[in-house]
Amino acid sequence: MEWRKLNENLSSELEMIPELDTIRTVLIKSYNGLPYHLKACFLYLAIFPEDCKISLTRLVRRWIAEGYSREVRGKSAHEVAESYFMDLISRSMILPSQLSSHSRKKIDSCQVHDIIRDISISKSAEENLVFRLEEGCSLNNQGTTRHLSVSSNWKGTQSEFECTVDLSRVRSITIFGKWKPFFISDKMRLLRVLDLEGTSGLVDHHLKHIGKLFHLRYLSLRGCHGIYHLPGSLGNLRQLQTLDVMGTNIIKLPKTIIKLRKLQHVRARGVGSNDDCVYEEYPEEVPRIMRNKLCILTSSSVGFCVACCDPHLLKECMDIDGDTNRRDVCTACCCSYLPMQVTRRSRRGVAVPRGIHRLKALHTLGVVNISRRKAAVREVARLTGLRKLGVTGINETNSGELCSAISSLSSLETLLMQSEGKPGLYGCLDDLSMPPKNLESLKLYGNLVRLPAWINGGLLQNLAKLKLRSSRISDHDAAIKVLGSLPNLAILRLRKESLEGEEVRLRFCPGASFPSLMVLELSSPGKLKSVQFEKGATPKLELLQYYDQPDHGKNDVISKENDDQFEEASSVWLFSGLASLGSLKKVLLEGGNYEHYFVRNLRSQLELNQNRPFLKMD
């Protein structure tokens, strides 16, 4: 039996076949047949919990930080690590996640089957490679573990933590669940990877020892909402390659970051998603006479002073879950909340310090807020090795220099551009006459009204992914025609308010239109009335995703019994032509409380499709 088929059917096989040891023996033989470098990469997966979807980016950058991947014969360490990942996929030791299988060029995440994961855990424990601190685990560890993984269900004490593992030998720590202050120690002299992604209860003062981890190469605080500030001691981490603070409340990177000459990836972005607002709207309960900067700033300052007297109040007013003290209150106030009140700056990006251009090793930078310092654009333009860039705070004042900077970044492959407030991106991107020729992924967030002239099949030959949000494109037919001319566009995501008009009707025609499109996402793009696929259109479309508000798609007049009303309504705004999509595999409905008539119409079309694509509702 092929390994992939065995993986796909393993659960049912285990129920039917009593000889479980035989299956396990076969799987172990497959593991034993791996070359040495793949064995190390495979055993590393024991760090992650059951059913975890592991990001390719996260895994590859961690492998590089651990020294599992190095530059070989002209191939970068990143390319080598990705080849290891794909080798494990091809050998079916890991499985591509369901949604990522639609990516045009590569799989972007994976999962490990339960039985194979058990093998990874047992083998890594035998070799003292990975130790998992979890409920019920044995604390009789020999203390020489290289990689420590703390599960969310572990409730141990500091003495148990320090007695179980020799912290001076640990190379990586990964925390899942709730933070405890003793998880970081200055004893961790050899630590290379500190991955705290999604850890709850982490606040600023818990990072006081971070500057003593001199060998650290990978630091992730992604999704740690209690982090408002990075300490200046970050500049001591001269070996750091990856800094990920996505989903935190950090709005400014420390000045000392310019000392990190080996830094390759900086990922930073807050939690804001409203592209039209510079800052959160004033709450309705605030009296109208107080809805001004002076009153809000004064009341906020008073609130923070009260919180300093009793830090526990901060958990309620700022939604912080953790061991918060007065210093954390002051840090959050001075480094995040008050600056945002004064400058009306959002948390969507971070301000970068002067001298950022010295980080010549940077491949990834974003999201950078350029609304308050135009000089930052000129510094970014000097980072000619950038492959991924995200910029927010674009306006008519800084857009000219930004367009010039982007044109000079010839290695750029991924680009995100986002406005801050109205009028948005309207007219701001017209000066970009020559986009980077290697651009593969483009995200535009903010009021556009019309697509820039440089978005066309001639200049963007390699563009594979495009996402629009809050762009409010008014001429839908012209936009679809332009986007359809992009020869390699594989993924098109039209997000919230990307299209504007009283009635949005999309028509996909046959011919040269969308020759490579595999994924089409329509996520509350506007007042959508109909999406029509003519025969021969989008010949490679495999996945159609549709998301709308819970009440959209309801019609109280239409019932299951009234077929005449059903047919009349379905012809107004439902999808049509799905039966003719020769490559369609799946239709995914999300968000809405879709009524019977809408679902029935979709099912009837899919039943006529020769591929028999399935309909999934989340």
Question: Domain for residue 277, yes or no?
Answer: no
361-381 pLDDT, tens digit per residue, is 999 998 999 988 889 999 999
Contact at 8 Å (CB) between 337 and 241? no
In a domain, 209, yes or no: no
Strand 109-111 and strand 54-55: the pairing is antiparallel
Last residue in a domain, options 127, 142, 163 = 127
For residue range 399-456, list pLDDT tens digits in order. Answer: 999 999 999 999 999 999 999 777 889 999 999 989 999 999 999 999 999 999 999 9
User: For 26-65, what is each residue's pLDDT tens digit?
Assistant: 888 889 999 999 999 999 999 999 999 999 999 999 999 9
CATH of the domain at 78: 1.10.10.10
In a domain, 57, yes or no: yes
Q: pTM of the prediction? A: 0.88
Helix pair 56-66, 36-44: axis angle to 10 deg: 120
Closest CA to 368 of 344, 338, 399, 389: 389
Burial profile 480-519: b = 16 or more Cβ within 10 angstroms, e = fewer: bebbbbbebbbbbbbbbbbbbeeebebbbbeeebbbbbbb
Q: For 216-268, write each residue's pLDDT tens digit.
A: 999 999 999 999 999 999 999 999 999 999 999 999 999 999 999 999 999 99
* Number of domains into which the chain is organized: 3
Average pLDDT over residues 503-519: 89
Is 91 inside a domain boundary? yes
DSSP string for residues in 276-313: T-SSPPPPTTS-GGG-SHHHHHHHHHHHHHHHHHSGGG
The single-letter DSSP state of residue 252 is B
The C-alpha atoms of residue 597 and residue 616 are separated, in whole angstroms, by 16
pLDDT, residue 142, reads 58
The residue out of 343, 361, 390 marking a domain boundary is 343
Give the per-residue pLDDT at 366.
86
For residue 512, what are the domain limits? 484-618
Residue 391 inside a domain? The answer is no
Q: Could you tell me if 611 and 582 are in contact, meaning their C-beta atoms sit under 8 angstroms apart?
A: yes
Residue at a domain's end among 312, 327, 343: 343
pLDDT reading at 274 higher than 90: no
User: What pLDDT was estimated at residue 434?
Assistant: 92
Domain assignment present for residue 297? The answer is yes
Provide DSSP, 489-504.
--EEEE-TT-B-SSSE
Q: 441 pairs with which residues across the strands?
A: 414, 465
- The Cα–Cα gap between 585 and 554 comes to 26
Is residue 311 a part of any domain in this protein?
yes
Q: Tell me: the pLDDT tens digits for 298-329? A: 666 666 666 666 666 655 555 555 577 777 77
Q: Judge whether 62 lies within some domain.
A: yes
